[in-house]
Structure 1
C-alpha cells in the first residue's frame, strides 16, 4: 500500500472493512457530522473472472489533490483507496469517502467525486478472462488532454 494525503493504493483487492473502519476511527473525533463511503465491487458479468488495473500515479496524484482543494473550500476532506493489478469478481477495487461537517456537502461531494473519478482518473481497466488481461475498451473513457492529437 502507498498513502499520499488520503489517497491509498493497494496491490490486489481492497480490505474493505479494514480501510473503512480505519477511516471512521481516524475521523470520528474530528467534529465531522458526516462520514460517507462508497465501495465499488467487481461484478460477475461478460464472462470475466475479474478486472485488472494500471494506474498512472503522477496524474492521479494531481487529479486527487485538485479534489482535496475543492473539498477543503467546503470544510471537507476526500478519501480514496484503489487497487493496482488483479481484483477478482465480488471483491472491491475502489473505495471513496468524504468527511464533512454537513450531511448535504458530503452527499454532494461523494456523488461528484465518484462520477469524475469514472470519467477522468488515469486508471486503465482490463478484463481478466481465462487468466489473461484484455483491455476493456468498451467500458473505457478517454482522459481529457490525453493522446497525441489532444
Structure 2
C-alpha cells in the first residue's frame, strides 16, 4: 500500500490504521520507520515534489520482493510542505518473523533514499530552495543514462 498525502503525515492515525488492517493477518512482526523533518540550516521545513508513475513502479517492485518473503510493506509520503518536527515519510513491514522485517525495512529505507523519484526543497524565508547538497541522483537518470 502506497499512500501520498498533501502536507505533513498524521503519524498516529496512519500507524494505528495500518496496525488494525493487519492485526488479524498472523504476522509476528510489525516494524515501522518514521522520518521527521529536523531543524537544521535555518530551514522552516521541507517541501516535496513526487513523480508518481515512477514511484508507483519502484514501490510495486518492493511489494513483490516482500511477498517472496511472506511479508508486506506499506509506505506513506508527503507532497508539498512539511514543517519542522513533522513527519514526511512512514514505512512499515509486516512479516511472520522479526528478522525478515528488520532486514527488509533497512533495505527498503536505504533504497528509498537512493532511488525514489521525490525531490526535496528547503523552506527558507518563504521560498522553496532545491536541497541539492542533500539529494541523490536517481540510478539510471540523466541524459546519458
TM-score range, shorter chain: over 0.9
1:93 and 2:88 are equivalent in the alignment: yes
Corresponding residue of 2:6: 11
Give the TM-score normalised by structure 1: 0.96
Instruction: Extract unaligned runs of 5+ from structure 2.
Output: none
Number of aligned pairs? 145
Displaced runs of 4+ in structure 1, greater than 3 A?
none
Distance in 2 separating the partners of 1:21 and 1:36:
13
- Distance in 1, matches of 2:101 and 2:36, equals 21
Write the deviation string for residues 31-83 of structure 1: whole angstroms up to 9, x where unpaired. Answer: 00001100000000000000000000000000000000100000000100000
User: In the alignment, is residue 122 of structure 1 matched against residue 135 of structure 2?
Assistant: no
* Structure 1 residue 147: Cα displacement: 1.2
Task: Tell me what 1:135 maps to.
Answer: 130
RMSD over equivalenced CA pairs, Å = 0.4
TM-score w.r.t. structure 2 length? 0.99
